[in-house]
Structure 1
Amino acid sequence: MLKIENINFYQDDILIENHDLTIEDGIITSAQPSIKSNKKAERLVVPGFIDLQIYGAGGKLFSAEPTVESLSIIEDDLLKKGTTGFLACIATNTPQVFNECIKTAKEHRPYAKNCLGLHLEGPFLNPKRLGAHVPEFVRKASLDEIKALLDFGDGVIKMMTIAPELQDDDVIQYLLDHNVVVSLGHSNATFDEAISAYNKGIQTTTHLFNAMNPIHHREPGIPTAVFNHNKAMASIIVDNRHVSFDVVKFSQKLLKERIFLITDAVTECSTGPYQHKLVGDKYVMPDGTLSGSSLTMLMAVKNCVEHCNISLIDALKMATEYPAKLIGKDKIFGKVALGTQANLLVLDDKLNITDTIFKGDLISN
């Protein structure tokens, strides 16, 4: 049993103050007013973060070192930083690298902690909107290739970013039928093509504004399609490098529960096609192209609150509840509620993590 005394937490958007939480067998079993302290609680308990797009952590870029050991190092590093669930992302690469990453994820699955599976960002992208992706590996998907990929993946492929304007409808439908979250990204789709893709069932959009056409008053493009659709979601990188804080601000006002945070984080790497170098607070490729971020999920939440005029409760939902719902894990992640698994963070009054609780166990930070 674990007891967290004299804390605050949000329940249905209401701040519940000065309570004790009891955790038994990994489940939150009790929330009672604290009777041991007359002091106003300064600590806040929130759900653990969910990052649906991260390439590496702890000095390990997964695609460059696709081993069980490196995946375990990434898991442990992210747990200490408050990410209790994540999808390991693989950028456009050779079939051999994809297969090795998938094989490793399957081997690791029985022992996985916070790694929930894989996000394949490519190779079925639009060559006109690649960003830092390697053009020689980009291609159109065939249905046979997708069938073989998912068969080999055996359930570890949870999400895939594609350019839908270049893919056949039967490919998209096969992914959706096999419970893969499909995200529109690295795409040059027109407004009408993007709306059509969302209407076909594509659920979300990869790193809004990046690697897609911009908003234009006569050619509205992908961002405007997301804003105008009634269901389409979008991830966003809140580092003021990939997207301006002011753009994040109006995007959140328009999308509300349809926008969620990702880090898109990488780590320094000097081998393989993705040789990320940290320059200041951003990562770039050898030619200077902006690549992944240096964000943590906590930094993204703080940026939302401190620079984007987003309330703390909304910023936390963007990092927890909304991505959890997208991947169908909202009964396990994203809430502080009785009967739910205790994947929690304890924050001090400056929003720094003092403790991570994962499946009811206290993780040393």
Structure 2
Amino acid sequence: MNKLALIGGKIYTGDAIFEQKALLISEGKIDGIVHDHEIPSDYGSYPVNGANICAGLIDLQLYGDGSDLYSAERSVASLERITEGLVRKGTTSFMMTLATNTISVFKEAIRVAEGFQHDAFLGLHLEGPFLNPKKRGAHPADLIIEPTKENIDDLLVGNQVVKMMTIAPERIADDVLQHLQGYNLLLSAGHSDATFEEGTRGYDLGIPTSTHLFNAMSPLHHREVGLVGAIFNHSTARASIIVDGHHVSFEAVKIAKRQMGDRLFMITDAVAACDKDIYHHVLNNGYYALPDGTISGAAISLLEGVKNAVQKVDIPLDEAIRMATLYPANLLERADIGNLNKGSMANVIVFNDNFKLQQVIFKGELKF
């Protein structure tokens, strides 16, 4: 069906909320929002029975889905399965992430991903290898390397698919950071032991965002407020946060939200069960951990993160939706996703007040 009118729902566009109106979808794009009596005759009506309607969710950090961990599989077939699984869960745009690994694995993963095309696939996010071993978390210390121009070029020259990278700002010289910025990546400060001054310097020099706030970064202490303090106090620094109740307490999310407002957005940091390669993820009461117990990834979908934000953190639904749609889209400088404005890509999810996903529409096509 090329022309579709979603009727009988509560529409969250990203900027506004509409009730008793219809969302029009035509040729894979949002065509507008109108009163029911204004629906053109050539549109097929699709009742949603009072459910919530919003843009498809955007996750800038996840490592796999189902039984597929991309760093261990490294195949187009794996990317296809991960993408299909994520879209069916309402995540219609995502950054496939690779944690610190050998340079050969990084390069193979890049080569494979360059052969994969899908409108939900935003590119690769390399979480490493230019991190601080003191805040390595689940990352192997022996695979973290110095951020030199030579190492950067060895990893990235000729690359067409790496779009994001997490780095420790205190470990990179100003001229090397400028060199890295020449690759036009979305840089994110993380796995960092930066002081307040070092973190602030990184944001002043153009690092726009930060990786999983509170996790694997120098904490806020009353005499040295660290990277967390730098993020809170910087006017432009943004940060992702994992709202699963395990990586970060819901009380900490509430504090961060009050400090940061629209600078805080949601990721899942989701991994998949894996017993091969260097990351062995074991499901442990709602999250994944390494065999030694180190927390290593989340086990939630992004829609579950939105649910937690509303039910556990008391964030209003419209704002929780923006944290998983509009704010990451703005960070990517993408006006065509993360909202339901006229002309945007028709990536739409429908879910009820219990956060049960009822429908996913991807580029105007009903997925289930």
Q: Which amino acid aligns with 1:106?
A: E
- For residue 195 of structure 1, report the CA deviation from its aligned partner: 0.4
* Corresponding residue number in structure 2 for 1:240: 245
Question: Contact 2:61/2:269 (CA < 8 Å) preserved in 1?
Answer: yes
Equivalence for 2:182: 177
Q: Does 1:358 align with 2:366?
A: no
Specify the code of the residue in structure 1 equivalent to 2:141.
Answer: P
Deviation at 1:178, TM superposition (A): 2.6
Letter in 2 for 1:19: K
Give the TM-score taking structure 2 as reference length: 0.94
> Whole-Å Cα distance in 1 between the matches of residues 14 and 269 of structure 2?
29
Given that 2:10 and 2:52 are in contact with CA atoms closer than 8 Å, whether structure 1 keeps it comes out as yes
CA deviations 1:143-201 (Å, max 9, x no partner) are: 123234322322x1111001111112222212323320111100110000000110000
| Structure 2 residue aligned with 1:139 | 145
Distance of aligned partners of 1:18 and 1:41 in 2 relative to their CA distance in 1, 3 Å threshold: farther
Indicate yes or no: 2:108 matched with 1:100: yes
Find the counterpart in structure 1 of residue 42 from structure 2: none
- Aligned match of 1:116: 122
Partner Cα distance (1:42, 1:357) in 2: 17
CA–CA distance in 2 between the matches of 1:103 and 1:50?
Answer: 24
- The answer to whether 1:281 aligns with 2:286 is yes
Deviation at 1:226, TM superposition (A): 0.5
After superposition, residues 328-339 of structure 1 pair within 5 angstroms as: 328-329=333-334, 331-339=335-343
TM-score (norm 1): 0.95
Matched, 1:128 2:134: yes
For the pair 1:344 / 2:352, whether they are aligned, the reply is: no
Matched, 1:210 2:215: yes
Q: Residues of 1 paired with 2:338 and 2:287: CA distance?
A: 28
Is this contact kept in 1: 2:336–2:343, CA < 8 A? no
- Residue 54 of structure 2 aligns with an amino acid whose one-letter code is V
Q: Which runs of 5+ in 2 are unaligned?
A: 40-44
- Match of residue 9 from structure 1: 11
Letter in 1 for 2:235: N
Equivalent of 2:313 in 285, 295, 308: 308
- CA-CA distance at 1:41 after TM superposition: 5.4
Distance 2:16 2:199 in 1: 36
In the other structure, the counterpart of 1:153 is 159
Number of aligned positions between the proteins: 359
- How far is the alpha carbon of 1:350 from its aligned partner? 2.0
For 1:336 and 1:352, how far apart are their aligned partners in 2? Answer: 20
Alpha-carbon distance in 1 for matches of 2:104, 2:16: 49
- Answering whether residue 32 of structure 2 is matched by residue 30 of structure 1, we say yes
For each residue in 1:197-218, what CA deviation from the matched residue of structure 2 results, as whole angstroms up to 9, or x when unmatched? 1000001110000001111101
Match of 1:63, SS state, is helix
Corresponding residue to 1:195 among 200, 212, 218: 200
Q: What runs of 5+ residues in structure 1 fail to find an aligned partner?
A: none
1:216-231 to 2 correspondences below 5 Å: 216-231=221-236
3-state SS of the aligned residue for 2:138? coil
Is this contact kept in 1: 2:350–2:360, CA < 8 A?
A: yes
- How much does 1:7 deviate? 2.1
Q: Would you say the 8 A contact 1:131–1:211 is kept in 2?
A: yes
Q: CA deviation at 1:300?
A: 0.5
Name the CA distance, whole Å, in 2 between partners of 1:172 and 1:182.
Answer: 10
Query: Contact conserved, 1:265 with 1:295, CA < 8 A, in 2?
Result: yes
Question: What corresponds to 1:321 in structure 2?
Answer: 326
By how many angstroms is 1:33 displaced? 1.2
More off after superposition, 182-191 vs 41-50: 41-50
Contact 2:55 2:348 in 1 (8 A): yes
- Structure 1 SS opposite 2:81: helix
Distance 1:28 1:13, change over 3 A: closer
Moved more, 4-13 or 24-33: 4-13
1:68 lines up with 2:76 in the alignment? yes
Q: Which amino acid is 1:58 matched to?
A: G
Q: CA deviation at 1:25?
A: 1.1
Letter of the structure 2 residue corresponding to residue 361 of structure 1: E
Q: Deviations over 1:92-126 (max 9, x none)?
A: 00011101110011011xx3231110000001110
Q: Which residue number in structure 2 is paired with residue 265 of structure 1?
A: 270
Deviation for aligned residue 1:19: 1.4
Structure 2: which amino acid aligns with 1:243? Answer: V
Once residues 30 and 163 of structure 1 are traced to their aligned partners in structure 2, the CA distance between those partners, rounded to angstroms, is: 43
* 1:147 partner SS: helix
Q: What fraction of aligned residue pairs are identical, expressed as a percent?
A: 45
Q: Is the 8 A contact 2:52 2:352 kept in 1?
A: yes
Please state whether the residue corresponding to 2:321 is helix, strand or coil. helix
